[in-house]
Amino acid sequence: MWQYFTLKDVRVIGHYLGVLVMFSALMYVLPLITAIVFGEWEPAARYLLAAGISLLAGQALRFARIQPARLNRQQALAVTGLAWIVLALFASIPLFMSGHYQTYLDALFDGVSGLTTTGATVITDLEHLSYADNMFRFMMHLLGGLGLIVVALSLGLLGKQNGNSLYTSEARSEHVVPNVMQTTRLISRISLIFILIITLILTFMCMIMGMKATHALLHAFWIAISGFMTGGFTPTSQSIMYYHSFPVEFVLMVVMICGAVNFALHVEIWKGHLRDFFRDLEIKTMVIWLCAMAIVIAASLSASASFSDLPGMLRRGLFMIVSAFSTTGFMNVTSNELVTVFSSGAFLSLAILMAVGGGGGSTAGGVKLQRVGIIAKSIVATIKETLAPDSARVTVTYTHIGQQQLTQSTVKEALTVFMLFVVTYAIGSLAGIAYGYEATQAIFDAVAMASNGGLATIVSPNMPGGLEIIYIFMMWAGRLEFVTLLALVVEIVVSLNPRRHRSRSSR
């Protein structure tokens, strides 16, 4: 029997959504300060208004229930699922008012892309965007990359008793430390320390290249956030190619790999457990997967005339592999080159890398290496069971934050999410094809959206509105790894169907 929302549920969900909308006003603080510091008065007025709207609307939603009850699992799913799109609706207001978007839908697309750390953009005239607007785009990446719920929990906004149900509904399950709030604080702390260190390194590099100190500092801060959060937004439309610097690209490759590694494993390194880190199923899968795909892409690129030389292949090919695998979406070639210069084999291999994605519990998207590893282990277990005598009981173990035993439920969860991703990739590809785009490009962009990869060739300000809406849903669903969103959609449909209510009450 399907569960449905009662009026009490709706009021509780409304209250907590209001809390999150109010909390999202924090995103406007740094852009507002940036605007004031650099004398950008029009953006300053805009971000003040945006912060006011969020606080007002959030507070109005909190009136839905004055004394909030403890969230149950069902309500937590709804709060998490709706938070991503509701916050994007508010975030797109200052973006649209900037005049850099042709329609509100375009601004919403970038709002969802920013929060889900997809990184694809339909902005126009990015080169003349104010510092404040740029700062806001990267604040969306920071908040979305860490996780809206993670940040809200770490600040204690959602109450101590609601932590676990909310935490697991945001596609996270591993507790680095026993307490959820402490775990979220640790994740936030690790990320901020990492971003600050990388900002300093990149600032120095940008200044050596001739950039002015302020510009260098801002660019470094933004691309450090975007890289570690595996987002993909950049302050220029040339992406990372703008810097024309191999050292910058190398640093960003390291940052992207770190961003794509499970936060729980960052803590293992922090604690000095290097052996456990390298024995982890996710790390092993990552090494094998990256080596295999690097060979395939190198072989495919060497067939094309332009990237057959070793320096070119290493610099462009390796960077694109890391960018695709971590689902960041940075580019050090133009999107035109992806279509015209890259061989179709290399092009589709990048899509496969995005489809699989990075580590579970990281900022990366896609199916996740952990699930791929578990499915591979499951295949091994099936072969072992086939070969073993009838009386034997086969058990398969793996290392992931300690020794784990492969269970039916783990395999079922991995296969379900894997299948949902594959189906979404297929639906998105067919939508792109139906809109008249080349099949390879349609597949590539569909994968980029659902995996939150962001490397895109179709996405542009002039893309059809229908396809834009499909892509928005794909980014949203991919970030929540489908289960939360599907459960929410089913519950809303059931709640809106009075026949089901009656049949349930008659029983």
Partner 1 sequence: MRRILLTIFLVVACAWSGMLLDRPGVLFAYAADEATEVKPIEERPYANANGSSVENGEGGTIESGNALSGKTQDVTKGSAEESQEAALLESEANRVNTQQLPDSSFIYDISIVDLAAADSYYDNQIVQVLGEVVGDRIFETADLTHCWITLDAPSTELDEVIAVYMTAESAQMIDTYGKYKTRGTMLQVRGVYHLACSEHQGISDVHADYVSVVQPGVTMDDTLELASFLPGIIVLACAGALVLVYRRLREKER
Site string for partner 1, 189-228 (x = CB under 8 A): -------------------xxxxx--x-------------
Could you say whether residue 127 binds partner 1 (CB under 8 A)? yes
Three-class DSSP category at 391 = coil
- Helices 408-434 & 439-450 angle (0-180, nearest 10): 140
Could you say whether residue 11 binds partner 1 (CB under 8 A)? no
Q: Minimum distance between the CB of residue 156 and partner 1, rounded to whole angstroms?
A: 17
CA distance 474 to 468: 10
Q: How far is CA 54 from the centre of its chain?
A: 23
Count the site residues for partner 1 by CB under 8 A.
63
**Residues within window 299-318 making contact with partner 1, judged by CB under 8 A:** 306-307, 309, 311-312, 315-316
Residue in the structure block whose two tokens are 């971590």: 326
Site string for partner 1, 365-404 (x = CB under 8 A): ----------------------------------------
Alpha helix ranges (H) inside 303-390: 310-312, 318-325, 335-340, 344-356, 369-387
Q: Which helix (H) or strand (E) holds 62?
A: helix 41-62
Q: Minimum distance between the CB of residue 204 and partner 1, rounded to whole angstroms?
A: 12
Q: Minimum distance between the CB of residue 31 and partner 1, rounded to whole angstroms?
A: 13
Site string for partner 1, 229-258 (x = CB under 8 A): -------xxx--xxxxx-x-----------
**Residues within window 41-100 making contact with partner 1, judged by CB under 8 A:** 41-42, 44-46, 48-53, 55-56, 59-60, 62-63, 66-67
Comparing C-alpha atoms, which of 279, 287, 290, 289 is closest to residue 404?
279
**Residues within window 411-470 making contact with partner 1, judged by CB under 8 A:** 460-462
Q: How far is CA 502 from the centre of its chain?
A: 40
The count of other CB atoms within 10 Å of the CB of residue 318 is 17
**Residues within window 22-41 making contact with partner 1, judged by CB under 8 A:** 39-41
Three-class DSSP category at 349 = helix
Could you say whether residue 483 binds partner 1 (CB under 8 A)? no
Site string for partner 1, 331-360 (x = CB under 8 A): -xxx-xx--xx-------------------
Contacts for 337 with CB less than 8 Å, ≥ 6 apart? none
CA distance 165 to 270: 27
**Residues within window 141-170 making contact with partner 1, judged by CB under 8 A:** none
Quick one: CA dihedral 405, 409, 413, 414, positive or negative? positive
The stretch near partner 1 (CB under 8 A) out of 119-127, 141-149, 261-269, 481-489 is 119-127
Q: What are phi and psi of 490, to 5 degrees?
A: -60, -45
Q: Minimum distance between the CB of residue 457 and partner 1, rounded to whole angstroms?
A: 11
Q: How far is CA 109 from CA 47, 123, 127, 330, in A?
A: 19, 9, 19, 18
Q: Minimum distance between the CB of residue 394 and partner 1, rounded to whole angstroms?
A: 50
Q: Minimum distance between the CB of residue 111 and partner 1, rounded to whole angstroms?
A: 18
CA distance 377 to 196: 38
Position 369, amino acid? L
Residue in the structure block whose two tokens are 């900002």: 199
* Nearer to partner 1 (CB atom), residue 178 or residue 311: 311
And the tokens for 186? 């640790």
- Sites of contact with partner 1 (CB under 8 A): 39-42, 44-46, 48-53, 55-56, 59-60, 62-63, 66-67, 102, 123-131, 208-212, 215, 236-238, 241-245, 247, 306-307, 309, 311-312, 315-316, 332-334, 336-337, 340-341, 460-462
